[in-house]
Every structure is written in C-alpha cells, then in structure tokens.
C-alpha cells in the first residue's frame, strides 16, 4: 500500500484557530486559580490561588486544558503556550487572548510552528508601542496573516515526534538537577569534615585567611577594554567569576577575554596557577565567590575589575582544594555577615581576612578534590548531552515544521 502525501494548506490564522471568551463573574469568597504565560515559549503556569476579593481587576475569563494562550503585552518575548490539564478551569484577565483549535488544527503542532524564526518575528511585528516592555499585540491583524499547515494526521505525528524529543531533554535535565544536588551534598559533607574518607582521621587545621594569603595588585578594566580572542595578556573579569566559572578554572579548557593593547595596565600582578581570585562585588549575596586558577602554562593573565587576587604563602594545598572549599556553603556562611550594600553587594579585603580556612592533610585534600572533580565531569558531560539534544530538536523543527521533510501517515 502506497503512503499518500498531501499538500500543505494555506489559510488565514483565524481559519486555523478561533478566538474565544468565557467571561466569569468573580465572587469575593470564592477561590480562583490564576495562570500566567512564561516568556521564551516556556509554557503556561500557575500564578497561585486567590480569593475573588483579592483580585483587583474583575474582567476575567475561564480557560480549559488545550487552550492556546497569548499574553498581549509579552508576546513579543514569546509569551504563549498551551494550558495543561492541571490548570483546566483556571482564569485569566483580559490581558490574554484565548484560542481553541479548529477541526483541521492540532494545537501542539500550532504551538511548535509559532516557535519558528518567521513566526517569532511576526509576533514582534504585530505588536505596537515605543518601549519593548510595553508593546501591545494587534490580535486581529495577526489573525489575518497566512499560515500553511499539513493535514491533521501529519500535524499529530510531527507533534508526537517532537514531544518525544522534549521528553528526552526533560529526563536529562532532571538527571542533571539530581547530579548537581548530589555534588552539593558531597561538598557539604566532605568539605566540612562531617564525612571523612576511609584512611583519614587526622584533625584538620584551621587558619585565618590573613595567615594563609597575600593580596596582589589587580586592574580596573571594564568590558570595553577587553575583546574575545587571543591577545598578549588575558583578563579574568569579576562578572565571569559570578556567571561563567565554577570552582576551578582550567585554562586548558577555558578561553578568557584579552586586554586591548591600548588598555594594558602597568603594575598589575601576573596570575599564577594555584592563585585564588575573588569577585568582591555582585548584585546579591554571591559577592565573595572565588575561583582557583589552574594550568596557566606560559599565558600572561591579569586579575580584573572588582576582584581580589590572593596567593597562598605556603604550599599547603592540593590543586583544587581552595577552589572547592571557598565555594562551600560552610565558607560562604562566614562571608555573609561581612557582605554589605543595597543595590550592589560587596565585601572588603579588611573583612575577608577575618575568615578561616580549613586545612586537612594534602593527601586528604587530593582525595576529596578527585571525588568532586569527578562529579563536575559527570555534570559537564550531561550538560553537553542536553545541548546536543536541544540542537537535535531545533534541526527537527526546521525540517518537519517547514515541510522540507515529510512524515509518513
């Protein structure tokens, strides 16, 4: 039996989905489930349950599982999605458009096709306003635009294929969360001495920060003075410490920004392997986050804006120990009383020297670092696997949602 391939139909959007309104009169003492739509096509979720008297705007509408929601003021940012079964019967304000599929439309397929670059841009073009955060969606104009879809059975099959890929990604992301939680538990146990490794029972030394480290000179270069690429001198910026790096920077695996030749400062200390660099400023209590630098080789690296460059005075530490220890929950608790600020939080050298560093024997340090490094390696591999699965889904969407590749039905 031959497989029949049907042409895609082109119709106006309002012939594929229908705009609906199910008004509800809110009663003061009745509880209502409110929903919101996340940006980036991230779906519909609960805003919480509220009494009618707690809801100031009374112009609300009921939504059902399978409805397609658009946030009129956030759709330029991809704020649309399908109502899940768990939110059936919830309510939304008149800030949302509610749509139901017509008989030739699979709503999951419709949602997927709206994520293609052309339709993402169309959401933006169909929104009016001056400020990107205050645009208002022109629903009627958008619904008059043309959209091509395959036959319903093909829509359903494509949606099922991409849903399977989503489940693969979701399972791996759950596993990643578990791996991160396991690492956090290991750090809490191993870096505090609560759990000792077999063969180690010597009491740990504890030394004051000021007795262990010397401070070295840093620079105050902003991002404008840096470029991505290979230059004579590379730079570690506090923002990268806060957002990009984990506990240890392995420079055989990480590319740093370089300093523009015209901006190279004088009298700035060169970073060495084993040095600790601390971000002294952040927007929250992550101020004080530290990284240990390893495998510098013959590279010339400076410590940049809002950082403290700290060098151990003696060879007391195994590679990686300080990076892991100074990012542990136990050490961060020491920092919190010294972190000050309102909009920007910071910690000073005069305060950080008051903290204490735990020092097991180097052999025990090395054994703990090996366990935590293995955990990091597993996390890194899983992150790369998730990214590969996301790229696979993206490729499938480009092929299946544009008709470049047809599926058998």
Q: How confident is the model at residue 130 (pLDDT cuts 50, 70, 90)?
A: confident
Are the CB atoms for 339 and 279 separated by under 8 Å? no
Q: Is the pLDDT of residue 231 over 50?
A: yes
Q: Strand, coil or helix: what is 224?
A: helix
Which pLDDT score, from 0 to 100, does residue 43 have? 93
The DSSP bridge partners found for residue 291 are: 277
Q: How confident is the model at residue 320 (pLDDT cuts 50, 70, 90)?
A: very high
DSSP assigned state of 4: P
Q: Strand, coil or helix: what is 95?
A: coil
Q: Give Cα 399 distance to the centre of its chain.
A: 27
Beta strands in 7-158 (DSSP E): 9-12, 17-20, 23-24, 31-37, 44-51, 60-62, 68-71, 80-82, 91-93, 96-101, 127-128, 136-137, 146-149
Q: How far apart are CA 307 and CA 329, in angstroms?
A: 20
Q: Strand, coil or helix: what is 151?
A: coil
Q: How confident is the model at residue 131 (pLDDT cuts 50, 70, 90)?
A: confident
Report the candidate in 216, 207, 275, 208 with the shortest Cα–Cα distance to residue 241. Answer: 275
Cα distances (Å, whole numbers) of residue 64 to 15, 35, 49, 100: 20, 11, 16, 9
Assign residue 129 a region (left: φ > 0; alpha: ψ between -120 and 50; beta: otherwise). left
Which pLDDT score, from 0 to 100, does residue 5 have? 63
Q: Give Cα 378 distance to the centre of its chain.
A: 18
- Tell me which long-range contacts 379-388 makes (C-beta under 8 A, separation of at least 24): 379/176, 379/179, 379/180, 379/183, 382/172, 382/175, 382/176, 382/179, 383/176, 385/172, 386/169, 386/172, 386/173, 386/176
Mean pLDDT of all residues belonging to the chain = 94
Q: How confident is the model at residue 279 (pLDDT cuts 50, 70, 90)?
A: very high
The per-residue pLDDT for range 46-104, each reduced to its tens digit, is 999 999 999 988 789 999 999 999 999 999 999 999 999 999 999 999 999 999 999 99
Please report where in the chains the tokens 């955060």 appear, as a residue. 133
Question: Residue 60 CB: number of other CB atoms within 10 A?
Answer: 21
- Mean predicted confidence (pLDDT) in 259-268: 92
Q: How far apart are CA 281 and CA 343, in angstroms?
A: 11
The per-residue pLDDT for range 158-194, each reduced to its tens digit, is 999 999 999 999 999 999 999 999 999 999 999 999 9
Report the candidate in 94, 97, 91 with the shortest Cα–Cα distance to residue 141. Answer: 97
- Mean predicted confidence (pLDDT) in 366-375: 97
Report the candidate in 75, 117, 122, 119 with the shortest Cα–Cα distance to residue 95. Answer: 75
Q: How confident is the model at residue 408 (pLDDT cuts 50, 70, 90)?
A: confident
* Number of residues assigned to the chain: 409
Which pLDDT score, from 0 to 100, does residue 2 have? 44
Which pLDDT score, from 0 to 100, does residue 342 have? 87
Are the CB atoms for 250 and 323 separated by under 8 Å? no
- Mean predicted confidence (pLDDT) in 313-324: 95
Q: How many CA atoms lie within 13 A of 79 on its CB side?
A: 22
Which pLDDT score, from 0 to 100, does residue 89 have? 95
Which pLDDT score, from 0 to 100, does residue 311 have? 97
Q: Is the pLDDT of residue 264 over 80?
A: yes
Q: What percent of the chain has pLDDT over 90?
A: 92
């Amino acid at each position: 039996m031959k497989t029949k391939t049907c042409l895609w139909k082109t119709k106006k959007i309002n012939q594929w989905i229908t705009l609906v309104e199910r008004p509800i009169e809110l009663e003061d003492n009745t509880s209502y489930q409110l929903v919101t739509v996340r940006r980036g096509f991230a779906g519909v979720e609960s805003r919480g349950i509220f009494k009618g008297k707690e809801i100031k705007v009374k112009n609300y509408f009921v939504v059902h599982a399978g409805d397609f929601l658009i946030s009129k003021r956030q759709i330029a940012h991809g704020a649309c999605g399908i109502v899940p079964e768990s939110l059936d019967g919830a309510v939304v304000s008149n800030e949302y458009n509610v749509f139901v599929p017509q008989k030739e439309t699979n709503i999951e397929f419709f949602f997927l096709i709206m994520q293609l670059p052309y339709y993402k841009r169309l959401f933006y073009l169909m929104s009016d306003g001056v400020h990107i955060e205050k645009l208002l969606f022109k629903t009627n104009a958008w619904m008059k635009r043309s959209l091509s879809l395959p036959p319903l059975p093909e829509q359903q099959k494509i949606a099922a294929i991409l849903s399977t890929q989503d489940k693969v990604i979701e399972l791996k992301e759950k596993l990643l969360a578990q791996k991160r939680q396991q690492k956090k538990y290991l750090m809490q146990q191993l870096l505090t001495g609560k759990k000792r490794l077999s063969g180690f029972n010597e009491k740990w030394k504890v030394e004051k920060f000021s007795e262990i480290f010397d401070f070295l000179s840093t620079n105050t270069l902003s991002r404008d003075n840096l470029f991505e690429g290979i230059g004579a001198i590379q730079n570690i910026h506090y923002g990268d410490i806060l957002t990009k790096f984990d506990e240890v920077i392995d420079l055989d695996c990480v590319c740093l920004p370089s300093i523009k030749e015209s901006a190279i400062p004088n009298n700035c200390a060169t970073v060495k392997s084993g040095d600790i660099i601390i971000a002294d400023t952040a927007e929250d209590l992550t101020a004080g986050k530290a990284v240990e630098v390893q495998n510098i080789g013959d590279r010339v690296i400076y410590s940049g804006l809002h950082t403290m460059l700290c060098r151990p005075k003696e060879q007391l530490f195994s590679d990686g120990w300080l990076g892991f220890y100074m990012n542990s929950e136990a050490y961060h608790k020491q920092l919190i009383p010294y972190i000050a600020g309102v909009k920007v939080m910071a910690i000073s050298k005069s305060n950080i020297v008051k903290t204490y560093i735990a020092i097991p024997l180097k052999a025990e340090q090395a054994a703990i670092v090996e366990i935590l490094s293995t955990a990091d390696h597993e996390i890194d591999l899983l992150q790369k696997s998730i990214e590969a699965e996301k790229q696979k889904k993206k490729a499938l969407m480009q092929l299946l949602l544009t008709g470049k590749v047809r599926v058998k039905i």
